Amino acid sequence: MRAVVLALVAACSAPTPAPVVVAALAPWSDAWLLEQAKPYLTDAVARRAALEHALTNPANMYSRIRLAAYGRATGGWDLLPVWNPRSIAVTTAMLPTLARGELPAPPSTPLWNGVTPTTMPAWVALGRRVFFEYPMRAEVFMEYALTEPKLAAAVGVERTRDGDLPGLVVFANIDGETRVGITCAICHATVKDGKLIAGEARRTFDYGKLRLTFDQIHGTVRSADEANRMASWGPGRADVTEDDDEDPVAIPDLWGLRHQRFLTQAGTIRHDSPLALAIRQETQLTDSNHARIRPPRELAWALAMYVYSLTPPASTAPPSPRGATLFLDHCARCHANAVYGGGAIAATTIGTDPALATGRGRGTGKYRVPSLLGVRDGAPYLHHGVVRSLAELLSPDRKEPGHVAGTQLASSDRDALIAYLETL
């Protein structure tokens, strides 16, 4: 079945130039990825070229910021201090202290020991630490939430049975002050039945509610427009774009990225080289720390390798042969790759809300075809998280426009297709 799916032409993808391929190594194999680390870590010209190649629309704001500042060797972000933070993950044992508004001392040693990994398991292990421990920024809103347990629970601060609060750290910031920070895991890791699932979107995380509550308590005046927009995000959604357009997105799962040829829901980044993801991570950590530091590139590369390693929990759903056939007939033209994702498709073709695809922040005119790995747990659906279930997505009566594939099926076939999707 999968072989047939793989054989289908990814009709939704625009052709892209081939990445630099090391001879005799299969692209995207672990060995190939290890080789690709060299140009990223050591060659400023290669990084700049990779950036320019990766940005699918150089005119959007995301691209312009990076083209102005990244990979310039003798200027811009390349000359920022390299920050290897002292950071410790928040645990339930720390909560009484944090609830008093006090912060435990950060560790005396930095996150990274300065030794460059040489094997994929070592890269992945280091990347896991970055994912859970490298602060994206100090986060006073979350620091406040930790003093109000009910608020923390309401905005998606989750706890594992082992007492971890993934995505939250206490760290020494770049001005020498101890702060609470957030990491990648605040959005891209969740807890179910006490068990950590790294890579799955935290669909309980309500950042808009967190900020609005902080504002209310602290008497901060915010315009009605801003307040209404943040209130409208709800759990699992936020507006992450650089522009002022109203285009919130659903936090995405991180499954199968090694097979996906575009990054971000709008396909902002062409991903035919791992340098594209490493640069994405490096510039994200730089930008979110207000461009006063940059991370060690080894940590950005490690983070990329860790993200590539993430896989969803195995499905326990029974097979659905009829659904598999329907998938091939009705879905696989776009969801064509090994992780049931694909390239990028014009927003006008897919017909969903075009605000993100046409926005000045990260717009490309297209939307990425998402991977369907773990789609059974991926609700709400579409890039902006407005469809509540697979049944609603495939319903002919759905009000939200776009993505009509599957909606014309008979009711029994829709059920069979959903049964198949739940196996992925």
Closest contact distance (angstroms) between CB of 36 and another protein is 24
Contact region for another protein (CB under 8 A) — 72-80, 162-170, 253-261, 397-405?
A: 72-80
Bridge partner residues of 11 (DSSP): none
Identified binder of another protein from the candidate list 49, 174, 338, 379, rule CB under 8 A: 174
| Least separation in angstroms between CB 287 and another protein | 6
Binding mask 2-41 for another protein (x = CB under 8 A): ----------------------------------------
b/e map 1-19, b = 16+ CB within 10 Å: eeeebeeeebebbbebeeb
Q: Hey, which residues between 120 and 139 contact another protein (CB under 8 A)? A: 136, 138
Smaller CB distance to another protein: residue 144 or 340? 144
- Residue 287 or residue 413: which is nearer to another protein going by CB? 287
Alpha carbons 153 and 139: distance in angstroms, whole number: 17
Say if strands 237-238 and 249-250 run parallel, antiparallel, or are unpaired.
antiparallel
Residue ranges in 236-275 that form contacts with another protein under rule CB under 8 A: 238-244
**Given 216, 348, 349, 389, the residue binding another protein (CB under 8 A):** 216
Residue 100 is a binding residue for another protein (CB under 8 A): yes
- For another protein, give the closer residue by CB, 176 or 318: 176
- C-alpha torsion angle, residues 383, 333, 313, 128 (rounded to 10): -60
Applying CB under 8 A, among 20, 34, 44, 61 the residue interacting with another protein is: 61
Name the amino acid, one letter, at 3: A
Neighbours of 356 (CB within 10 A): 27
Name residues contacting another protein, limited to 353-372 (CB under 8 A): 360-361
Question: Could you identify the residue written with the tokens 């699932």?
Answer: 197
Strand partners, 345: 367
Stretch that binds another protein, among 32-40, 122-130, 159-167, 213-221 (CB under 8 A): 213-221
- Kindly tell me which residue out of 22, 67, 122, 328 binds another protein, with binding defined by CB under 8 A: 67
Query: Which structure tokens are listed for 31?
Result: 């060995």
Which residues lie below 8 Å from residue 176, measured CB to CB, with a gap of 6+?
A: none
Residue in 1, 6, 45, 99 binding another protein, rule: CB under 8 A: 99
User: Could you tell me whether strands 366-368 and 344-346 are parallel, antiparallel, or unpaired per DSSP bridges?
Assistant: antiparallel
Q: Which of 14, 43, 72, 122 binds another protein (CB under 8 A)?
A: 72
Spatial CB neighbours of 304, under 8 Å, sequence gap ≥ 6: 127, 274, 277, 278, 280, 281
Would the CA dihedral through 36, 344, 383, 333 be positive or negative? Answer: negative
Smallest distance from another protein to CB 221, Å: 9
Of 162-170, 223-231, 312-320, 394-402, the segment contacting another protein by CB under 8 A is: 223-231
> Within 13 Å of residue 294, how many CA atoms lie on the same side as its CB?
19
For another protein, the binding residue among 42, 92, 119, 220 (CB under 8 A) is 220
CB atoms within 10 A of CB 415: 16
Number of residues that bind another protein (CB under 8 A): 68
Residue 96 binds another protein (CB under 8 A): no
| Cβ closest to another protein, residue 68 vs residue 404 | 68
Shortest distance in whole angstroms from residue 126 CB to another protein: 17
| Cα-to-chain-centroid distance, residue 208 | 18
The single residue among 17, 23, 74, 93 that binds another protein, judged by CB under 8 A, is 74
Rounded CA separation 329/320 (Å): 14
Exposure string of 294-329, with b = 16+ CB inside 10 Å and e = fewer, is: bbbbbbbbbbbbbbbbbebeeeeeeebeebbebbee
Find the shortest distance in angstroms from Cβ 35 to another protein.
28
Shortest distance in whole angstroms from residue 174 CB to another protein: 5
Task: Check binding of 56 to another protein (CB under 8 A).
Answer: no
The number of angstroms, rounded, from the C-alpha of 314 to the middle of its chain's C-alpha atoms is: 20
Query: Using CB under 8 A as the criterion, which residues of the chain lie in contact with another protein when the complex forms?
Result: 58-59, 61, 64-65, 67-69, 72, 74-77, 79-81, 83-86, 99-101, 110, 136, 138, 140-141, 143-144, 147-148, 172-177, 179, 187, 207-208, 211, 214, 216-220, 222, 226, 229-230, 238-244, 284, 287-288, 290-292, 360-361
